Amino acid sequence: MARGSSYYNHTKVTEEHRRLRDAEARVTGADWKAIGPYVVDREWGVPREDYSPDGNAWAAFPHSHARSRAYRWGEDGIAGVCNRFQNWAMALALWNGKDPILKERFFGLAGPEGNHGEDAKEIWANEDATPCATWLRMRYVYPMQRFPYEKLVEQSAARTREEPEPELPDALEGGMAALTGGEFWDVTVEYGKASADEVLMRVRARNCRPASAGDAGTETIHILPTLWFRNTWSWGYDQRRPAIRG
């Protein structure tokens, strides 16, 4: 909408309206859109990361490679934010003490793996956001038991296109009862901006196992907010190597 329209002249102009106006007018020190939720949910398996001789993007960069290879054109993560140029990114990593890898990104099936094609096999919701990303909130359901990576792949391979695709509860030990019975962590991630270039992150994890279970307090979750720089030096784009200082 054009600047100066009734959108900004409305009688109930909020602080967010003013931030939008300043960002669009490029007011110095008020670029409220410079940092936002610009980190994608999945960068692995996409054509822009495919440098294979046969053009098979799924095989060239599968999910299992993402934890040990640097992306070239972007980053992914859980509840991720970054600056406009994605020189740096911040997201959430988790570990329930049982998975073989950190939960740094959502798990999903590649196109050839799913009986209905590519599909994410996680449970999450982006719950709230303001236009300038001055407030963001998302929730993620993290099972207490070992995440069934292999089982989800096996179940999908065993089903035909005419059958329903398996979802996370289908592969959990105990099925849907594992979730309805509270065998998961309810993780909430919130971001708030103190200024245009100052972002605060809050992570809360709620143990959903009922107290009647007797061992509700015995489970542990490791919460690892992670800040990193996108690797631009390995590709010759920019030879400078940044550093994080406390």
Look-up: residue for tokens 């949910």?
A: 41
Question: Is the pLDDT at 7 greater than 60, yes or no?
Answer: no
Beta strands in 3-157 (DSSP E): 35-36, 78-83, 88-95, 108-109, 119-120, 124-129, 135-143
Pairing outcome for strands 88-95 and 108-109: unpaired
Listed in sequence order, the residues at least 6 apart from 47 whose beta carbon sits closer than 8 Å to its beta carbon are 57
- Taking the C-alpha atoms of residue 238 and residue 231, their distance in angstroms, rounded to an integer, is 9
Biggest CA–CA distance in the chain, Å, is: 61
Query: What's the confidence (pLDDT) of residue 77?
Result: 97
Position 1 confidence tier, pLDDT thresholds 50, 70, 90: very low
14-29 residue pLDDT tens: 999 999 888 888 888 7
Position 10 confidence tier, pLDDT thresholds 50, 70, 90: low
Pairing outcome for strands 35-36 and 78-83: antiparallel
Query: What's the confidence (pLDDT) of residue 234?
Result: 87
Cα separation values, 95 from 16, 104, 128, 142, Å = 36, 9, 25, 9
Pairing outcome for strands 124-129 and 135-143: antiparallel
Locate 215 and state its tokens: 């061992």
Question: Is the pLDDT at 13 greater than 90, yes or no?
Answer: no
- Taking the C-alpha atoms of residue 89 and residue 87, their distance in angstroms, rounded to an integer, is 7
- Taking the C-alpha atoms of residue 60 and residue 51, their distance in angstroms, rounded to an integer, is 7
**One-letter identity of residue 156:** S
89-112 residue pLDDT tens: 999 999 999 999 999 999 999 999
Helix (H) or strand (E) holding 58: helix 57-60
Listed in sequence order, the residues at least 6 apart from 172 whose beta carbon sits closer than 8 Å to its beta carbon are 143, 145, 148, 178, 179
Burial annotation 21-44 (CB, 10 A radius, 16+ → b, else e) = bbbeeeeeebbbbebbebbbbbbb
124-139 residue pLDDT tens: 999 999 999 999 999 9
151-202 residue pLDDT tens: 999 999 999 999 999 999 999 999 999 999 999 999 999 999 999 999 999 9
Query: What's the confidence (pLDDT) of residue 216?
Result: 61
- Taking the C-alpha atoms of residue 217 and residue 182, their distance in angstroms, rounded to an integer, is 13
Listed in sequence order, the residues at least 6 apart from 220 whose beta carbon sits closer than 8 Å to its beta carbon are 96, 97
Question: Is the pLDDT at 221 greater than 90, yes or no?
Answer: yes
Which pTM value belongs to this model?
A: 0.89
